[in-house]
Structure 1
Amino acid sequence: MKNRKAGLVTLALACMMAAPAMAQNDKMTPITTPAQPAAITLDTGALPGATVQESWHSQYNSVFARNVTVATLTPFLPAAGKASGAAVIVAPGGGFRTLSMENEGWQVAQALADKGVAAFVLKYRLNQTPADIPGFERAMAEIFSAGAKRPTAPQDPAAAYAPQIADARAAFALVRARAREWHVDPHRIGMLGFSAGAMLTMATALHGQDAKPAFIGNIYGPLAAMKVPADAPPLFIALAADDPFFGNTGYNLIDSWRSARRPVEFHLFEQGGHGFGMYRKTTTSTGWFDSYARWLDMHGYLQPAASN
């Protein structure tokens, strides 16, 4: 029974933490909240009913935030004279209970800035979990306890992810409001999400009202079919075939985009597991960012827009 419980904890945390397969240093260690001098508080207010304060820990040679109650946006801007005018809102994953801030946030944003694309890491509000790490582990184990069903996509994402969509909308509004200062074309702002961040990206594109991403990326998120609007943005998808959560659930999202005659690119890597992000692994999933950058280039986002 003890071994079975340990296995459930491992499974639950792998999902919630977007942990890379076969990662080392998997013990969660509390850390002091990192200095984030560039982080800008968004205007969405505190998470309603929140009683637990934000905390951080290290794991898998990366850092994670939990119990985020106030959303922030951190800019990563290209070097002077290198900006293409395109921008990306980056949404880390973590099951809406934690955020992989380094592997799926800051490192991704810096890589985009190095390509000339302004990037903005969205630290969105999260579902509350116990303040202490043992309590967090127990709570996650309960979610995946015997007989528990894997959470399914909500019938109404706009309601289920309302606080997070509000944070994403505020992020788009802020970038557009300061577009001139940050050398961003307000019509060339996309969104890229990982796992739960991919769910938020899709929800923002389809239910985010005035957010209207110009292009979107879904990295190891669910690929269920959905109704695609006629003006849906170009979509980039990357997933590992051995992803324990979404690798064997079908690829209907790609069919949905194609049926709507909207641009979509899909990369299915043989190996990589879930949560590979910017980790340097021996699997070909490590090349997802290079493929994404080439996709951005194909759509013209690595160069300044042509003048009318």
Structure 2
Amino acid sequence: MKTLLTILSLMGVLLSANAQKQIFLYEGRPKGSENWNWDEAISDKNVFNTKVVYNVSRPSITAYIPENPNGTAIVIAPGGAFHTLSIDSEGIDVAKWLNARGITAFVLKYRVARSFTDDPVKELMGKMQNFKTLDEENAPVIPLATEDGMNAVKYVREHASEYKLDSKKIGFMGFSAGGTLTMSVVYSADDARRPNFVAPIYAYENAIIGTNMPKEKTPIFVAVAADDQLGFMPHSINIFKKWFDAKHPAELHIYEKGGHGFGMRKTNTSSEGWIENFGNWLKMQGYLK
């Protein structure tokens, strides 16, 4: 009997570590995309050999819950030019890193533009030859994605006690389009849906919506590679300067190499250290012990 109890206890520990729970942010199809009749799908057969989610029509967050939550939560928005979501390197892998340090993570699947084939990356690569056209296609989608991001923050804040969280320690981070979304959320949200700190990683500034700088102190962590193939390095500098000029706590890291989309990938460049730098920053801000 004692041995059985020990086995059951160990199983409980294993199940509680990195426990996952998917939460849909709306009942049914949300406002603005009521007529979207396509379903979310996953593709891992593409030129980058990475898993991407596409055709998100029912936005959700998946909670990654650490064994011993420290009270801090972060919503993570993967990138993909508002057409796909790089769900592993810019989502789940980040969540697991945070979990190992006691931070509760919520990986966001926000609404994206429709893909018409089972190779959404190939579709997107063709469109990225002309950013003006891509921006025009994305323009109707970004406000919807921003609403998803704000509602993700709202959900986490309203359920803080359920997840053993401090409602004043809810952050939002994102990569590329997810970084654009991060800034759109913090500039557009009301108090109930505004994150307490943000981390845009190689964000695309031109597509950010909203202009309202938070009145309360809102720390920001910004990271990018100098050799970003899409030329986003100056965008991160601009975001940092706006925050610095507004007298919010601001930190900027520009890595010599790493390219665009380094996320949690092994690049053999100094950009691999961004997550450790982020962890040190979280400690300095009081979000990580």
Is TM-score (shorter-chain normalized) higher than 0.5? yes
Determine the structure 1 residue equivalent to 2:230. 245
Shift in CA distance, 144/89, structure 1 to aligned 2, threshold 3 Å:
same
1:130–1:136 Cα contact (<8 Å) kept: no
Matched, 1:43 2:26: yes
Q: What does residue range 129-278 of structure 1 map to in structure 2 within 5 Å?
A: 129-133=115-119, 137-138=122-123, 140-142=125-127, 144=129, 149=132, 151=134, 161-209=142-190, 210-223=192-205, 228-231=213-216, 233-247=218-232, 249=234, 251-278=237-264
Q: Distance in 1 between matches of 2:73 and 2:105?
A: 6
- Could you tell me the percent identity over the aligned residues? 34
TM-score (norm: length of structure 1): 0.77
2:127–2:134 Cα contact (<8 Å) kept: no
5+ residue gaps, structure 2, are 1-18
Q: Distance in 1 between matches of 2:128 and 2:222?
A: 27
Distance apart, 1:62 and its partner CA: 3.1
5+ residue gaps, structure 1, are 1-35, 304-308
Determine the structure 2 residue equivalent to 1:33. none
Q: Distance in 2 between matches of 1:248 and 1:171?
A: 28
1:97 corresponds, among 63, 83, 87, to 83
Distance apart, 1:248 and its partner CA: 5.1
Q: Distance in 2 between matches of 1:211 and 1:191?
A: 11
Determine the structure 1 residue equivalent to 2:269. 283
Shift in CA distance, 177/242, structure 1 to aligned 2, threshold 3 Å:
same
Task: Judge which range, 211-220 or 171-180, deviates more.
Answer: 171-180
Q: Distance in 2 between matches of 1:129 and 1:48?
A: 17
Structure 1 counterpart of 2:25, one-letter code? L
Determine the structure 1 residue equivalent to 2:107. 121
- Determine which structure has greater relative contact order: mean sequence separation of CA pairs < 8 Å that are 6+ residues apart, divided by chain length: 1
Q: Distance in 1 between matches of 2:123 and 2:65?
A: 39
Q: Deviations over 1:115-138 (max 9, x none)?
A: 1111110111111121332x7634
Distance apart, 1:99 and its partner CA: 0.3
Shift in CA distance, 65/256, structure 1 to aligned 2, threshold 3 Å:
same
Distance apart, 1:151 and its partner CA: 5.0
Distance apart, 1:255 and its partner CA: 1.5
Structure 1 counterpart of 2:57, one-letter code? T
2:171–2:197 Cα contact (<8 Å) kept: yes
RMSD value over aligned CA atoms? 2.6
Determine the structure 2 residue equivalent to 1:294. 280
Point out the structure with the larger helix share. Answer: 2
